[in-house]
Copies of this chain bind each other. A is one copy, B any other.
């Protein structure tokens, strides 16, 4: 399963590193704690809508742009899930959602 918070975290970190800024700089600008920003970047914490706006703001990117990058990354992951799975069950290949559900069941059962 593609985890949204992980892709958001990767996208925010990539943007910060592209600007050669430290966690401390961006967390100060965004008025969030360094630890919180670090956890968000590592996909360990869900960022609230307000704090996601603040972080995008601090990075000088529009929230919509960031989400578009995230959407593009997830779309690639979704399509590769469709391509890379064994082709034994054609219905599952054409319906990646069924596989996501199966993966979710595994997580839910754990």
**Mask: chain A, 86-100; 1 = CB below 8 Å from B; 0 = not:** 000000000011001
Cβ distance A82 to chain B, nearest Cβ, rounded Å: 10
Q: A100 and B4 in contact (CB under 8 A), knowing A48-B46, A62-B78, A78-B64?
A: no
The A contact surface, by secondary structure, is helix
Asked if A85 CB lies within 8 Å of chain B CBs, one says: no
Question: Residue A6 contacts which of B48, B49, B74 (CB distance < 8 angstroms)?
Answer: B49
Min Cβ gap A69→B in Å is 9
Interface residues of A in 1-60 (CB under 8 A from B): 1-6, 31, 46, 48-50, 52-54, 57, 60
Instruction: Give the complex CA separation of A49 and B3 in angstroms.
Output: 6
A75 at interface, CB cutoff 8 A: yes
Does B57 lie within 8 Å of A101, measured CB to CB?
yes
